[in-house]
Chain A
């Protein structure tokens, strides 16, 4: 069986309809998590921008400003196919108004998928998504995280 490259793996999560989970750690080593709304891969999958809602990401933003380290996990809710990226924060900014339509579209895609598995769209559409912070990170490591015996295996 041929080994999947990190780019091939990441490409499978680039089109939306996936859950976006973000973990950071504070200066005392205490981790925290929050849900992201959208991701956008850049520079031939060498970096990624993660959009997190301003309303719920205060701890996350404070952490990336101090420790810079970020774990990003994405998962397809129907199949549980999942991956995790470990990276370093290159910049944090309030997402510009021009990005709002993209973020909204990603939330709608995610809501459609969850609707298929029984979580009504009226619920998922009420998830706060804007204003959002955009966290730019450089991708350092990629892991296949689909549940199973090989979950957590690094992908080259």
Chain B
């Protein structure tokens, strides 16, 4: 039997059993969250807390492992012989990243970590006959020709949409829409790298009903780990992994240890699978693309391959749009007339307050936005109030040193998207509307009191 024919058993959905023995012949048995398939004659086990298993391997290299198909629950038994421990290299890095991501998410960095990737030769693998009395007949998932054609067509359409997009918001909306329609990725997020702040900012999402503006620090949780390591992360059976992480956390706390609070996952609270991809241009991290699902087995190697191709296209597209936006001078004022202000019988009265010390803008005592997007908003409102201006250019924002934009890769476009989203959600009476490449108009449909503190 080839190991590749039971590849589902190595996705980490159902924990596997590992039996070892010491030199005196006393057996030991533990669960491991995942057995890693290295090639058709080798597997790897993660060495985390296996104190006893680790000692046993030094005395007796023979090990038995039982793995389970997560769809049918059929068991397979393997006889293994320990070869070596790897503490660096591509395999170690891949295994370590999955563990780091879960550890980071559950507040257990450093405690819950990969010590070594233990490599084993597979001496024998066999189906455990009679394990199931009434095996669920689930055929191996095959990729149908129809599916393949749809995905290739999808890939072509995503590329076209990305290449046609003139601004970042259109590009990301089109890409996420195509991922949903052609690939079935219903819950997706794109976060952009804010290099100066060492964090990622959610700039687009689909299937969540909001979330733009959510921030993730480098190294935090699944997304932050992918950003730091710049490597793809595919987790199936996410709930099981998080339960394991939480068990470690409880053990540490009950032992008098300290831990920081768990990081909430941006996105689905009950996600079972996650596929997180770094958006890279050579060595530069542009952002992160994450897809989630409530099903434990949603993302396979196929999805990983396709999403990586699309991720590369999105990264190139983002770079092209931002580059163009930064270097091409603003177009002449748009010929398209700006829609007249909404006719509101009684204009609402809103108070916007800018707190200098906190660098934050509040709307009627409720937080609205802070940092660079907050400063941009305040500049626009100030000039509207003092000079009656409603038309602005990206270029003048770039030249205004008081806004604190970095000189290179300023992400102005993404900051304006963020500001537009926040205003749409919290203060629809104030809006920022594009009037052509590099130009926009401020539209106000309320009586505003501007207060600076």
Given contacts A35-B75, A123-B73, whether A145 and B132 have CB atoms under 8 Å apart is no
B-side contacts of A147, CB under 8 Å: 48-49, 244, 247-248, 251
B444 within 8 A of A: no
A75 within 8 A of B: yes
Are A123 and B30 in touch, CB under 8 angstroms?
A: no
Binding site of B, secondary structure by majority: helix, strand, loop or mixed?
mixed
Given contacts A146-B251, A149-B252, whether A33 and B130 have CB atoms under 8 Å apart is no
A-side contacts of B60, CB under 8 Å: 29, 31
Docked complex Cα distance between A53 and B134 (Å): 15
Are B130 and A56 in touch, CB under 8 angstroms?
A: yes
Are A33 and B29 in touch, CB under 8 angstroms?
A: yes
Given contacts A71-B27, A147-B251, whether A117 and B73 have CB atoms under 8 Å apart is no
Nearest-CB distance from B69 to chain A (Å)?
Answer: 10
Interface stretch (choices B15-23, B301-309, B398-406): B15-23
B282 within 8 A of A: no
Q: What residue in chain A is nearest B70 (Cβ atoms)? A: A119
Instruction: Find A73's partner among B29, B72, B254 (CB 8 Å cutoff).
Output: B29
Docked complex Cα distance between A79 and B247 (Å): 6
Instruction: Find A70's partner among B27, B128, B243, B252 (CB 8 Å cutoff).
Output: B27
Docked complex Cα distance between A146 and B354 (Å): 51
Are A30 and B247 in touch, CB under 8 angstroms?
A: no
Identify which of B31, B52, B63, B256 gathers the most chain A CB atoms within 10 Å of its CB: B31
Are B21 and A149 in touch, CB under 8 angstroms?
A: no
Instruction: Find B129's partner among A30, A55, A75, A119 (CB 8 Å cutoff).
Output: A55
Q: Mark A77-102, 1 if CB is under 8 A from B, else 0.
A: 01111101010000000000000000
A62 within 8 A of B: no
Q: Mark B222-261, 1 if CB is under 8 A from A, else 0.
A: 0000000000000000011001101110111011110000
Are A31 and B251 in touch, CB under 8 angstroms?
A: no
B-side contacts of A35, CB under 8 Å: 17, 66, 75
B-side contacts of A29, CB under 8 Å: 21, 25, 60, 62
Docked complex Cα distance between A65 and B75 (Å): 24
Place the interface of chain A in its size category: 35 or more
Instruction: Find B52's partner among A53, A119, A152 (CB 8 Å cutoff).
Output: A152
Are A80 and B49 in touch, CB under 8 angstroms?
A: no
A132 within 8 A of B: no
A-side contacts of B256, CB under 8 Å: 1
Scan residues 15-65 of chain B and give those whose CB is less than 8 A from a CB of chain A.
Answer: 17-21, 25-31, 48-49, 51-52, 60, 62-65
B-side contacts of A56, CB under 8 Å: 75, 128-131
B435 within 8 A of A: no
Q: Mark A1-26, 1 if CB is under 8 A from B, else 0.
A: 10000000000000000010111110
A-side contacts of B133, CB under 8 Å: 126-128
A67 within 8 A of B: yes
A-side contacts of B246, CB under 8 Å: 80
Q: What residue in chain B is nearest A86 (Cβ atoms)? A: B26
Are B130 and A55 in touch, CB under 8 angstroms?
A: yes
Q: What residue in chain A is nearest B31 (Cβ atoms)? A: A75
B-side contacts of A117, CB under 8 Å: 239-240, 243
B125 within 8 A of A: no
Which residues of A are interface residues toward B (Cβ below 8 A)? 1, 19, 21-25, 29-35, 53, 55-56, 67, 69-73, 75, 78-82, 84, 86, 117-119, 122-124, 126-128, 143, 145-152
A-B interface, 7 closest residue pairs, ranked by CB to CB distance from nearest: A148-B251, A55-B130, A80-B247, A23-B29, A23-B19, A33-B19, A23-B27
Q: What would 21 A/B residue contacts be, using CB atoms closer than 8 Å?
A: A22-B29, A23-B28, A24-B19, A29-B60, A31-B27, A31-B64, A32-B64, A32-B77, A33-B18, A33-B65, A34-B66, A69-B25, A71-B28, A73-B30, A75-B31, A78-B243, A80-B243, A86-B26, A117-B239, A118-B272, A126-B73
